[in-house]
Structure 1
Amino acid sequence: MNLGNRIQPIHYLLFFLILLTIIFISILAAVPPVDRDALTHHLIIPKLYLEHGFHEIPHIIFSYYPMNLNLLYMIPMYFGNDILPKYIHFLFAILTAVLIYKYLSQRTNKSYGLLGALFFLSTPVVIRLSSTVYVDLGLVFFFFASILAIFRWIETGFKTRYLIISGIFCGLALGTKYNALVGFFLLTLFIPFIYVRYNQRSRNYHVKSIAAGTLFVFVALAVFSPWMVRNVVWTGNPIYPLYNSIFISKPEPEKSEIKKNTPAQKKPLKITHIDVRHHLYEESWLEIALIPVRVFFQGEDDNPKYFDGRLNPFIFLLSLFAFMGISAAGRQKNTEKWILLSFSVLFLLYACAKASIRIRYFIPILPPMIVLSMYGLYNIENRFLNRQHPYAGCLRKTVMLTIAFAMLGMNVLYMKERFEKDRPLPYITGKISRDDYIQQYRPEYAALQYANANLGEGHRILGLYLGNRHYYSDIPIEFSTHIFRSHAKNADSGTDLAIKLHEKGLSHILVRLSMLNDFFDEYNEQEQKILKAFFEKNAVMEFHKDGNGLLRILIPAKDDDPQI
């Protein structure tokens, strides 16, 4: 693959494979949205804004999150299209691939630039996200663009405009998702350190390094500021609901439902995600310590035990070779490698230590790791295999083709798996309708459609055990098992429970029946009697399909209801 920058047949092949990957993802994305976060957050908030204007939505905690990409999604949604937002999200993956190509083409050659772009686009987690209405790929693009601008800042002798550009992209990342705060913090630390390393002999270099970091922070926060101002006005906390203990702000919605006269209960033990992995998943402490490595080798969609996503082992393995021959690489390239590595390692360690571990939560490290893996592959070819030997050329080609085939082959296997799971062709070819496609993946959809057709103004639904998926409901719906459980604990009878729910403005309950039965044992004997009386005499099933029921709350005369 050491073919320089001249156009070669391998370039046409790699470009063709990139084009095939884009077409494949475009087919995957051409179906109605059914992914959880799309229905609980990224589509429902724009939908409510389009219907009622920009306003505070206290019962949906996600409405306080930054929404740069969600605003873009409002454009096609205004015209009634909720599939096009997937392609907007996918566009950021393509833009990131372009940045990877341009960077690697300059630092290695076009072959590695194209291979890096292909490797990124076909990585399982990128395939998955590119066909969803999420925002993570926007975060990926903005951070990688910010890092590349820092590289340019160094390369041009610390010209201010590139630092400003980096700050702008970092601010756009902050306005996309809150976990960008981690990357913002890291880049803010890197900038003064980098300046000092390069300018130790200049006058006042300490002051100038602090000034550079301050400028970066100012620009990034200025770009992010509209979302902070919004949250200060609504809650008093610029990054609500994060760090509420620091800012004087409103309580989170769930907490606001607890009544002051509720009997005191034992404070539950705080269980961390590490405790969950050790006790629930039965992982050893060694396995937990190795999670930052395991995420590259183990992964499964929709399985939190295996990080709810999938990467590719070669991202990690090839990166180990990125620093071969570092002494001969030149200061600029070495600095860039160390920045990429430091950003990736620190971001990954923070993500693994701080919260439940999902690959999406540290996906900003993916482009830097892809670049390092391509550096590693480049070094394997040019420093490890480039030896004087009669069969050196044949050996080099064999090894390089084997590695390329293996790393891309793993991605192809995932693409096949994803295609079989998403099944886009029956919908695209018209064999099944939009409603039928959604129903296959969201069993509550039929009940929501029934409610949309038969309920109207004055009705309000309480959703139980449905994962807070609002989007397909045109009737006001509040998802809160807390409301139901707290009223059940405080009720004196089935009728009393119905009255309490009615006083909350609730007319119906939409529930996943199997989950209701599963959680029934969590109530004490008295509460179970009240619930049985409520469902027997104060709730009538209006619609039922695929394990989900829509019940109407009845308020009978007091004489008709027993005490329990």
Structure 2
Amino acid sequence: MVTRQKASDTPVRVVSVFLVALAVYGTFFFRAVPDRAQALLIAVIPDQILLAWIDGDLGNIGLLDRMFVALFAGLILLLAWGIGRQTLRLTLHGVPLSRLEDIVFSIAMGLSELSLVTLLIGLAGGYHHWAWLFVSLVGIVVAKEGGYRILARRGTSRVCHGEVAEHLTDTATEDSRCDVGDSPDHGWVLWILAAPFLVLILLGGMMPPWEFDVREYHLQVPKEWYQAGGVHFLPHNVYGNMPLGAEMHVVLGMILTATWADWWWGALVGKTVMASFAPLTALGLFAVLRRYVSKLAAGAAAVVYLSTPWVMYVSITGLNEGAVGCYALMAVAAMLIWQDRIRSDKPRSGTGVLFLAGLFAGSAAACKYPALLFVVVPLAVWAVMAWKSPILARWDVRLKSVSVFLLAALVTTGPWYAKNLVFTGNPVYPLVFGGATRTPELMERWNRAHQVPRDHQGRRYSASQAADSIALLAWRSPWISPLVLPLAVLAWLNRRHRRRVIQLSLLIVWVLLVWWLATHRVDRFLVPILPWAVCLVGIGFAWSCDRLWRRVAWTVLIVGVTFHLLYFVASGHYDRRLLVSLETLRWDEPAEPDDPSRVSLVHRYMNRTVPDGKRVLLVGDAQPFDLEVPAVYSTCFDPCNFELWMRDRTAEQRRAELLRQRISHVYFDWGEIARYRSPGNYGFSDWVTRDLVWNELVHQQGLLRLVPLEMDPARGELFEVVAGESEDSAG
């Protein structure tokens, strides 16, 4: 048995080295992004932040409409807890869980199941009928209750509460006597540190979207599917044909609120549910580290995760990395419990936990393709190796273990890949095998945009590129935390948890290698493994019982989390009108023409003027979420509808096609098209030019007529379709 680490074993020089290294790291950190130092000024002028939250006028405050969104988001989370709780009863046969572990596992599992049910209902075309959802949920509840009763008669199905202490490893019990802090009363400090971030995530999650990807597909694709009544192939939006497990909650929000509100409010409900993955992950971190390390170390890790700028950003914008990270953490937590079970005197009781781990890993891959390599593959290897457990010495037992894990992963992720196979002929569309609508030109454009980047000498892998990536992840990325790397390194000094430190580190190193060797090295793609890294933060936070380290640890934590808060609220990279009425933000009419607006001038104009029964054609503009009128658009990686309809056609054919498509207005976003065509960018069809539009469609053929708007023509131009004789007479 490992001897308890005494306070006297901690040399002062280790703390001294840590502080010196932290000071050096802090220098790099603050010099890399000037906004970080400037954010500290917010502490002097907090009134400016409050003014930004209300858009400069107390009359703009509107909180009642947020109650509607919060109510239905809470309903979805409650449904998730109930459904997930049943799954735990079926899988965790006699496995002891704390109340918190039970709640966290249940909600996460339930959210995955609700997402899967919503997908299946969509494939059946049932989004416009409440009965589909009701019957599906009732069927799931009845089926699982029946399964539970069968297991109960065998005396094998039981989830225990309040029995964790006697089942934990001795290291957790030892650490509970060695909490980093003077007393358990320090928990109130952690709550004070966490509270502002919980409020910001809740308010930000309810905000209408402003981020490009979110308005292009994270919320736009659910909007299209809901309005169409079901899930279908989207030839104009390549991203809409990828796994969108997290975004299914947006559709679910639209279904649940349909009686009382339109799709827009349902989208905000789903976006709020997506934001809730951040606090759910923080609770998961607390549960895992309380089980294996200590209560205060668990609390510190939860606060660090919740306050990390990256987590805040992806949560309030509506991106799905938070959901992937949550499922990745739950999968690892289940793997750790399974590992304990197979080493116990009841190894067979671990099969259900392993199945649960597979369900969570598959849930991650149901949200984003990279999770296949980031989560499913390494955990499948873990299922085979399990740190050379004696119970897995035989290869047939190992094969059974990995089969159970992969079968479970297939349950939660398989429907998404099967959908793609049926719709496009490629289960991982548009990767590797191409598929429907994928021309050689479009495949080349996609591959060029998502390839491993080259340096100025044309090399993909070089020492200088590796150094740049290290700098990006360590201090240069604008949304990283200055706490994660320093405290995670200290985890290696905690000898009591060396095995788990090695396991978590191997998982992280695997993901970093895949990210660097096989992707386009976007740092946001690593946010899903942040919970694993923060587990190391918790272990590092609890590496010593020394009184000096206690004071240093608390000081570093409080200062770091305070910086997180100041930096994020001072950032101009998100819509800060957190207290403005949602109805006001929906239309976002600026008080003055030059005032910024979340909704573009062109979109506001089209929302007001496009006749009923007509549609608009967007060229270069792939963010149609805020349009209240039907829109035809395409991403830069999809066939351009304007080119498909107009190229090599006569004037009469072009006019007939616009009439057939019911197009009343055509908008050309020249600014976006120019950005796509800029060196090193994605690319855009060369056929679409201003000269073509003006010379042929306006002057020669008279198909389009410019709509005078107060905007720079180089940025964009809106045209009205000139009615032909047949349409005039019909009118």
User: If the TM-score is normalised by the length of the shorter chain, which range does it land in?
Assistant: 0.7 to 0.9
How far did 1:272 drift?
6.8
- Per-residue CA deviations over 1:168-224 (Å, capped at 9, x if unaligned) read 1112212222221111112112210226x112xx68612211221111111111222
Counterpart for residue 313 of structure 1: 482
Report if aligned partners of 2:453, 2:520 keep a CA contact under 8 Å in 1: no
Secondary structure, counterpart of 1:366 in structure 2: helix
* 1:372 lines up with 2:564 in the alignment: no
Counterpart for residue 412 of structure 1: 565
Letter in 1 for 2:473: F
Report if aligned partners of 1:38, 1:132 keep a CA contact under 8 Å in 2: yes
Distance 2:216 2:278 in 1: 23
Distance 1:396 1:241 in 2: 51
Distance 1:71 1:191 in 2: 29
- Per-residue CA deviations over 1:7-48 (Å, capped at 9, x if unaligned) read 633111111221222012223334222222221112222222
Distance 1:46 1:357 in 2: 27
Distance 1:229 1:552 in 2: 42
Which structure exhibits the higher relative contact order, with contacts defined as CA atoms closer than 8 Å and separated by 6 or more residues? 2
Distance 2:359 2:323 in 1: 14
Counterpart for residue 208 of structure 1: 397
Secondary structure, counterpart of 1:551 in structure 2: strand
How far did 1:126 drift?
0.6
Counterpart for residue 185 of structure 2: 9
Secondary structure, counterpart of 1:313 in structure 2: coil
Shift in CA distance, 350/512, structure 1 to aligned 2, threshold 3 Å: same
Letter in 1 for 2:213: D
Distance 1:235 1:536 in 2: 37
Distance 1:237 1:520 in 2: 28
Distance 2:623 2:248 in 1: 21
Report if aligned partners of 1:295, 1:311 keep a CA contact under 8 Å in 2: no
Letter in 2 for 1:250: A
* 1:31 lines up with 2:207 in the alignment: yes
Report if aligned partners of 2:329, 2:532 keep a CA contact under 8 Å in 1: yes
- From 549, 552, 572, the equivalent of 1:396 is 549
Report if aligned partners of 1:5, 1:110 keep a CA contact under 8 Å in 2: no
Distance 1:270 1:60 in 2: 16
- From 709, 712, 716, the equivalent of 1:544 is 709
Letter in 1 for 2:362: G
- Per-residue CA deviations over 1:357-413 (Å, capped at 9, x if unaligned) read 22331222101101112212322x33xxx3xxxxxx4x4344224422343233123
Counterpart for residue 137 of structure 1: 322
* 1:250 lines up with 2:250 in the alignment: no
Counterpart for residue 168 of structure 1: 359
How far did 1:106 drift?
2.6
- Per-residue CA deviations over 1:480-520 (Å, capped at 9, x if unaligned) read 66537857995599x58955973883553212344567889
Distance 1:87 1:226 in 2: 25
How far did 1:317 drift?
2.3
- From 238, 248, 255, the equivalent of 1:61 is 238
Secondary structure, counterpart of 1:322 in structure 2: helix
Count of residue correspondences: 516
- From 242, 246, 251, the equivalent of 1:74 is 251
Report if aligned partners of 1:296, 1:315 keep a CA contact under 8 Å in 2: no
How far did 1:167 drift?
0.8
Letter in 2 for 1:542: V
Counterpart for residue 189 of structure 1: 381
Structure 2: which 5+ runs fail to align? Answer: 1-176, 679-683, 726-731
How far did 1:429 drift?
9.5
Letter in 1 for 2:531: P
Distance 1:526 1:127 in 2: 39
How far did 1:466 drift?
2.3
* 1:446 lines up with 2:601 in the alignment: yes
Letter in 2 for 1:311: I
TM-score where L is the length of structure 1: 0.79
How far did 1:116 drift?
0.7
Secondary structure, counterpart of 2:707 in structure 1: strand
* 1:118 lines up with 2:303 in the alignment: yes
Distance 1:461 1:280 in 2: 44
Distance 1:284 1:146 in 2: 32
Compare 43-52 and 142-151 and name the one that shifted more: 43-52
Residues 143-158 of structure 1: pairs in structure 2 closer than 5 A = 143-157=328-342, 158=347
Secondary structure, counterpart of 1:427 in structure 2: coil
Counterpart for residue 105 of structure 2: none
Secondary structure, counterpart of 2:490 in structure 1: coil
Distance 1:498 1:177 in 2: 39
Report if aligned partners of 1:40, 1:469 keep a CA contact under 8 Å in 2: yes
Counterpart for residue 49 of structure 2: none
How far did 1:474 drift?
2.2
Counterpart for residue 491 of structure 2: 322
TM-score where L is the length of structure 2: 0.62
Residues 483-522 of structure 1: pairs in structure 2 closer than 5 A = 483=640, 491=648, 495=651, 502=658, 505=661, 506-515=663-672
Letter in 2 for 1:23: V
Counterpart for residue 63 of structure 2: none
Distance 1:349 1:238 in 2: 24
Secondary structure, counterpart of 1:544 in structure 2: coil
Letter in 2 for 1:360: R
How far did 1:428 drift?
4.2
Structure 1: which 5+ runs fail to align? Answer: 259-266, 300-305, 387-392, 558-564
Compare 450-459 and 157-166 and name the one that shifted more: 450-459
How far did 1:132 drift?
2.2
Distance 2:279 2:318 in 1: 15
Distance 1:348 1:63 in 2: 27
Counterpart for residue 471 of structure 2: 294
Shift in CA distance, 420/211, structure 1 to aligned 2, threshold 3 Å: closer
Residues 340-351 of structure 1: pairs in structure 2 closer than 5 A = 340-351=504-515
* 1:359 lines up with 2:515 in the alignment: no
Distance 2:392 2:517 in 1: 40
